[in-house]
Amino acid sequence: MPCDRPMQHAALPLNDAEEDAFLELFNLSFGKAAATLSEMVDAEVSLSLPCFALLPQADVTQLLRDLYGTSIRMVYLPHRFVFDGGEEVPGTAVLLIRAAEVTHFLEALYGTPIPEEMAMQVEEEAFRSAADILLYTCVSSLSAFFSSEIASENPIYFKGSPENLSSHPLVGDGQEDLLLLRIDFKLLGKGVAGSLLTWLDGGHLPSLRVEIARYITRCLG
């Protein structure tokens, strides 16, 4: 099930039932976040189909540049899913838009045109506050589907070129591949498009497969 702008990726070590269940989980969690966003901006939110890829952390920068250009605004929320028995799966939830659409996004949030000088002053706080609600909605709903606990950190704001992300700890220790899930969105009538993403440490795929199997069992039961 491709996004509007599909990602190139290696085959994932999941069978068809696991892949379908995994995408369903993220589609539901992203859908809850999109409903929250719709209420925040008083506009309909259009979502692409979800897509995912397993790729080296070093490739994330190039992927973001290919998709969104050389200047982005991003808030990311580091978190961990904590399962029964103490198993933890680290991840990062992300809200991302192009820099050129920041003013439109702020206008959608505030419901009124924002003077350029004011936009520069309120951009980080407004973007971080909105993303905090959206990303926690996404992560907490996914945690509920997994029947796990969740431990999250404070959201982190990023402004600049994707190349500068190399100094940011996206997830894990940089040694394992990332399981990257993405849904693109548009705020209809607002001139804003962006993406909601989740990066999970690919080294924990065996644990995730166990939790996906439990989810499938609960659904069938």
Q: What is the mean pLDDT of residues 57-86?
A: 86
Computed over every residue of the chain, the mean pLDDT equals 83
Nearest alpha carbon to residue 183 among 61, 14, 17, 35: 35
Angle among Cα 24, 25, 29 to the nearest 5 degrees reads 115
Higher-scoring residue by pLDDT: 10, 119: 119
Alpha-carbon distance of 160 to 78, in angstroms, equals: 19
Exposed / middle / buried, residue 186 (Cβ in 10 Å: 0-12, 13-18, 19+): middle
Is the pLDDT assigned to residue 4 strictly greater than 60? Answer: no
Q: What pLDDT does 9 receive?
A: 47
Which pLDDT score is estimated for 5?
Answer: 45
Task: Name the DSSP letter for residue 148.
Answer: -
Integer angstrom CA distances of residue 58 from 78, 160, 170: 18, 18, 11
Question: Between β-strands 88-98 and 192-201, what pairing exists: parallel, antiparallel or unpaired?
Answer: antiparallel
16-41 and 116-146 helices cross at what angle (nearest 10)?
140
CATH topology of domain 42-220: Chemotaxis protein chec (3.40.1550)
> pLDDT tier at 184 (50, 70, 90 boundaries)?
very high
Domain ranges of the chain: 42-220
- Per-residue pLDDT of 138-178, as tens digits, reads 999 888 888 889 998 888 899 988 888 776 666 555 567 88
The percentage of residues in the chain with a pLDDT greater than 70, rounded to a whole number, is: 89
At 55-65, the pLDDT tens digits run 887 788 888 88
pLDDT at residue 169 in the model? 63
Residue 103 to residue 191: CA distance in whole angstroms: 10
Residue 46's pLDDT is: 93
User: Can you tell me the mean pLDDT for 110-129?
Assistant: 86
Residue type, 75: V
